[in-house]
Structure 1
Amino acid sequence: MIENKKLKMSVKKEGYVSELIIKDDPYKMNWVIEDTYLQQADYQDMDKLFGLFDITADGEKTGSEAVNPVIKEEQSKIEIGYDFEKFKVKIIYDLSVDAEALFWKIE
């Protein structure tokens, strides 16, 4: 889990964001869909969780679920690396840039 003054965020070992909470929200609402909710609702598209992706490279389609991500977590930053056969994808979630915001990028 990472956090700043305003937000708290967690990522599962599969690489998707499982929790994004505004800390001063009295209801502690989770702003991303939880996998447990999808299972309870019998939702068939578990690949729609925040952070999972499909990608086409050199005409071949693959996705984040095809490899095990490497997750590096610091106090207020998480890097998720996907090492495919021909290329790499890195997703960075950063709560340190602004005390009240989430910044993310894909490399």
Structure 2
Amino acid sequence: MSIYNCPNCGQKTFNPFTKAMAGQLNSKGKACPNCGKHITNGTAASVFSAIFSVLMFILVVATYLLELPYDAFIIIGAIVAIILVPKIVNAFFFKMEPTRRKDALSK
């Protein structure tokens, strides 16, 4: 089964861009065009995003406290990485799961 298949209907209805924008388990997710159910990136994607965000936060704090040269560029790069890297990794690596939010299931 491809990582771009909907876990509900089994059809390949997602591409890397729509999969990247599906969000983590705490989001509403993207609706499958075929079955209409909301899909999010799985548990492993959420764990990766959390660990990566904590590491980048530690980098920002360490850069600020150590007053490294070019600290502004390091901090800006870390903040941009917190936003972009999990989306890129989600687009190509982790499986999708049905959303766990109850408000998304009401449709």
Task: Establish whether TM, by shorter chain, passes 0.5.
Answer: no
When normalised by structure 2's length, the TM-score is: 0.27
Larger Rg: 2
- Which structure has the higher relative contact order (CA within 8 Å, separation 6+)? 2
